[in-house]
């Protein structure tokens, strides 16, 4: 399976002599306490069923899914973070041996089931790590998370925002997932005599499948492992592994390809739908000889924004404004579990951090969030010039870490009466991000899809 991102944030507290002992989405040796933002494979590299390096923290839903992915995992090392509550972790500086406390709050990231943002605060300051997140603040499903975040930030000034900058470019402007899900339904409804293949990951896009089932009143086929995950998530009557019960099948993304669809069409009319925020770099199936879209060119310019709530389709009766048919058997729908550029901007305006560091980087062309959003920082960070970075080896890259001792006590505390002063200092903060570079990603997808099609 392709590794899309590697995120490990290192937060060394108290002094430059201290070594980070808490890691987020990083599972290498050297830390004593670990955090998992969500259960995608790019966040679990190094986590195995035999894990024994220290305590680790995650949301309750992620904890429910963990034993299925890691059957022999020692659950006595697992600690659950209840969303919306402050959890206190007793820490000790390895250099000074002095005790201190780090508080952490998990906030729904609206990325995939169980995904959370992590808000850290202590004498070192306040840090917000988004993990992978989708900030659809106007959607009903996101209002609770927005309220939780606003309440938590009331007594805190974010010194550093560690940001999911996957789509940190104005070219990425796609509709809400609710709008995109209806686009998928419209495609399916317009092909009543076709089987439908939808490419998805092992976790995520559940709301899309539920919307299809509810609107079209049909079951959805999934592969056996995915069916078990659906049952763990509480969905028992909508999904099936019996292909005779439905014409709509959700298949692993890696099995979705032009070759597969061409083979299926020799037996029965079949179309494929790929829900993804990444544009496909390939000739559209409209006779246009010009390449449409790239990582740094606009794809979603057909959709207009209204002043009230954001998304508005050009034609009221045409919900397929941002859908492209790139092959006679394949439709691409802009449905992403990451925030688009405008959503990132709205999020930063709300948080008003002093500084921003991206957790996702590309060795071929990396857009620092400060290039676009430095002007929005409370610390008046200067805007940076857009630049391409030279090729770098992935081995030396690391992206959280925060120090602790082994006997950690966890307790819930609102701490509403304890205001964090904006003058709080961060003595030493190091954050590095690494990601499969754009060229490698395109080459992988070329082999898989036989087209230039980055995956979301």
229 touches 201 (CB < 8 A): no
Which of the four pLDDT bands, split at 50, 70 and 90, describes residue 285? very low
448 lies in some domain: no
230 lies in some domain: yes
| Residue corresponding to tokens 């709509």 | 248
Query: Which of 88-102, 233-247, 350-364, 375-389 is least confident?
Result: 375-389
Q: Which residues contact 248 (CB under 8 A, 6 or more apart)?
A: 188, 195, 196, 198, 212, 216, 218, 219, 220, 221
Question: On the CB side of 209, how many CA atoms lie within 13 Å of its CA?
Answer: 26
> CATH number of the domain that 314 lies in?
3.40.50.12650
pLDDT surpasses 60 at 334: yes
For every residue of 331-381, DSSP letters joined together read EEE---SS--HHHHHHHHHHH--SEEEES---SS-B--HHHHHGGGSTT-P
434 touches 8 (CB < 8 A): no
Residues in the chain: 456
449 lies in some domain: no
Is 46 in the same domain as 142? yes
Among candidates 276, 274, 322, 314, which has minimal Cα distance to 295?
A: 276
What's the number of domains the chain is made of?
2
Average pLDDT over residues 322-350: 90
Is 310 in the same domain as 396? no
Average pLDDT over residues 367-372: 88
Is 102 in the same domain as 21? yes
Which of 267, 300, 335 is the last residue in one of the domains?
335
Is 20 in the same domain as 163? yes
> Beta-carbon neighbour count of residue 133 at 10 Å?
28
- What is the model's pLDDT at position 97? 79
- What is the model's pLDDT at position 367? 76
- What is the model's pLDDT at position 380? 62
Average pLDDT over residues 219-242: 96
Q: What is the pLDDT of residues 195-204, one digit of tens each?
A: 999 999 999 9
203 lies in some domain: yes
Which of the four pLDDT bands, split at 50, 70 and 90, describes residue 124? confident
Is 358 in the same domain as 420? yes
pLDDT surpasses 70 at 19: no
450 lies in some domain: no
Which of 317, 335, 353 is the last residue in one of the domains?
335
- What is the model's pLDDT at position 279? 65
Tell me whether strands 324-327 and 330-333 are parallel, antiparallel or unpaired: antiparallel
422 lies in some domain: yes
Is 194 in the same domain as 53? no
Quote the domain boundaries for residue 325. 177-335
pLDDT surpasses 50 at 61: yes
Is 53 in the same domain as 129? yes
pLDDT surpasses 90 at 2: no
- What is the model's pLDDT at position 210? 97
Is 325 in the same domain as 190? yes
Is 281 in the same domain as 350? no
Which of the four pLDDT bands, split at 50, 70 and 90, describes residue 361? confident
- What is the model's pLDDT at position 410? 28
Among candidates 136, 185, 156, which has minimal Cα distance to 340?
A: 136
Is 327 in the same domain as 359? no
Average pLDDT over residues 353-367: 76
> Beta-carbon neighbour count of residue 314 at 10 Å?
10
Which of 284, 312, 335 is the last residue in one of the domains?
335
- What is the model's pLDDT at position 362? 60
pLDDT surpasses 60 at 54: yes
Check: pTM over 0.85? Answer yes or no.
no
Is 155 in the same domain as 196? no
pLDDT surpasses 50 at 269: yes
> CATH number of the domain that 90 lies in?
3.60.15.10
What the block records as the tokens of 76 is 């006595």
Is 304 in the same domain as 355? no
pLDDT surpasses 90 at 18: no
Q: What is the pLDDT of residues 381-430, one digit of tens each?
A: 655 544 433 333 333 333 333 333 222 222 233 333 333 333 233 333 23
455 lies in some domain: no
298 lies in some domain: yes
Average pLDDT over residues 307-313: 35
């Amino acid at each position: 399976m392709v590794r899309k991102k590697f995120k490990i944030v290192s937060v060394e507290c108290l002094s430059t002599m201290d070594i980070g002992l808490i890691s987020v989405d990083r599972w290498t040796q050297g830390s004593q306490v670990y955090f998992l933002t969500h259960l995608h494979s790019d966040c679990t590299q190094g986590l195995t069923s035999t894990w024994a390096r220290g305590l680790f923290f995650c949301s309750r839903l992620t904890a429910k899914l963990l034993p299925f992915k890691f059957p022999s995992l020692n659950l006595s090392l697992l600690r659950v973070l209840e969303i919306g509550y402050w959890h206190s972790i007793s820490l000790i500086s390895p250099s000074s041996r002095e005790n201190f406390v780090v508080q952490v709050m998990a906030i729904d990231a609206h990325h995939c089931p169980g995904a959370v943002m992590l808000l850290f605060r202590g004498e070192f300051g306040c840090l917000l790590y988004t993990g992978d997140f989708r900030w659809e603040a106007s959607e009903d499903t996101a209002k609770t998370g927005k309220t939780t975040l606003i309440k938590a930030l009331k007594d805190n000034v974010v010194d550093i925002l560690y940001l999911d900058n996957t789509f940190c470019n104005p070219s990425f402007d796609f509709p809400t997932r609710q709008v995109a899900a209806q686009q998928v339904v419209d495609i399916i409804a317009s092909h009543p005599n076709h089987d439908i293949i939808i490419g998805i990951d092992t976790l995520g896009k559940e709301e899309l499948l539920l919307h299809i089932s509810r609107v079209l009143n049909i079951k959805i086929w999934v592969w056996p492992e995915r069916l078990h995950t659906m049952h763990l998530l509480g969905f028992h009557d909508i999904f099936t592994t019996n292909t005779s019960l439905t014409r709509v099948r959700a298949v692993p993304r890696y099995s979705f390809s032009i070759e597969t669809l061409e083979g299926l069409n020799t037996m029965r009319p079949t179309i494929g739908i790929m829900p993804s925020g990444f544009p496909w770099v390939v000739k559209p199936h409209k006779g246009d000889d010009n390449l449409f879209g790239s990582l740094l060119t606009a794809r979603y310019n057909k959709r207009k924004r209204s002043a009230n709530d954001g998304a508005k389709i050009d034609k009221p009766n045409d919900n397929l404004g941002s859908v492209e048919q790139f092959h006679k058997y394949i439709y691409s729908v802009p449905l992403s579990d990451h925030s688009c550029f405008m959503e990132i901007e709205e999020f930063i305006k709300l948080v008003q951090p002093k500084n921003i560091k991206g957790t996702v980087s590309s060795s071929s062309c990396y857009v620092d969030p400060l290039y676009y959003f430095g002007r929005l920082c409370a610390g008046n960070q200067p805007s940076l010039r857009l630049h391409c970075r030279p090729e770098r080896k992935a081995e030396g890259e690391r992206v959280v870490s925060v120090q602790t001792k082994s006997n950690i006590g966890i307790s819930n505390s609102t701490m509403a009466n304890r205001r964090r002063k904006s003058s709080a200092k961060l003595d030493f903060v190091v954050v590095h991000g690494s990601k499969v570079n754009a060229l490698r990603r395109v080459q992988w997808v070329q082999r898989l899809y036989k087209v230039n099609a980055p995956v979301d």
